[in-house]
Amino acid sequence: MKQILIFIGPPGSGKGTQAKKIAEKYKYRHVSTGDLIRALPNDPTATPEELKIVNEVSFAGRLVPDWFICGLVFRAVERYVKLSEYKGIVFDGAVRTLEQAERIQQYLETKDLDKEVAAVAIMISDKEAFDRLTKRRVCSSCREIIPWNEETKNITACPKCGGELKIRPDDKEEVIKTRMVDQGSASLQPILDYYQKIGVLKIIDGMQSIDAVGRDVEKALL
């Protein structure tokens, strides 16, 4: 399996769930851009420009600038490849524009890691994404995300900690419409084309059960 796995997909595609599953199974470091952004205010290396971005745009559902995302990704790579337990990194939500894809690839080339990239695109229709997003919930204590499906729709408390479940603050309908424009399948196409062109793209059908998607992801990567 390649060392640098870049998961992409529209919001609600389940890419986060699949990225975590692969990371756990293969002892890779799971790096979610959301987690990196939330950790930034406590990071002594954060620049004033970065902190300004965190305060202004990250929770409004709009995309943050390319330089900001790339900075987070480069830092994460620097930090984790040095660790003795390093096996690989799973990036979850890091690449959302063509510019980011290209800059990250150029950066990985300088680290001799460009041949170690696999881009895993978990695709669902925009309509499916919208339905999944307007109905999924998050635990207010442990942040576990509860997807919306037949098994979970009647759950009233967090299955992990019993905490209270809430609709995610960025899952309000008008915010989701904005996110679908920014991050929906049309916006992903140039990124898919780029990864296809450099021969590292794996397209996975996300309109299946979580387990079936997981099997397809693993098959594509091995």
Interacting residue ranges for Zn ion, rule: CB under 5 A:
139, 141-142, 144, 158, 160-161, 163
Q: Identify which of residues 9 and 16 has a Cβ nearer to Zn ion in the complex.
A: 16
Q: Identify which of residues 158 and 217 has a Cβ nearer to Zn ion in the complex.
A: 158
What is the closest distance, in whole angstroms, from the C-beta atom of residue 161 to Zn ion in the complex?
A: 3
Q: Identify which of residues 35 and 144 has a Cβ nearer to Zn ion in the complex.
A: 144
What is the closest distance, in whole angstroms, from the C-beta atom of residue 133 to Zn ion in the complex?
A: 20
Q: Identify which of residues 161 and 186 has a Cβ nearer to Zn ion in the complex.
A: 161
What is the closest distance, in whole angstroms, from the C-beta atom of residue 141 to Zn ion in the complex?
A: 5
Q: Identify which of residues 94 and 138 has a Cβ nearer to Zn ion in the complex.
A: 138
What is the closest distance, in whole angstroms, from the C-beta atom of residue 146 to Zn ion in the complex?
A: 9
What is the closest distance, in whole angstroms, from the C-beta atom of residue 165 to Zn ion in the complex?
A: 8
DSSP string, the chain: --SEEEEE--TTSSHHHHHHHHHHHHTPEEEEHHHHHHHGGG-TT--HHHHHHHHHTTTTTSPPPHHHHHHHHHHHHHHHHTSTT---EEEES---SHHHHHHHHHHHHHTT-GGGEEEEEEE--HHHHHHHHHH-EEETTT--EE--STTTTT--B-TTT-PBEEE-GGGSHHHHHHHHHHHSHHHHHHHHHHHHHTT-EEEEE-SS-HHHHHHHHHHHH-
Give the number of other CB atoms < 10 A from CB of residue 67.
14
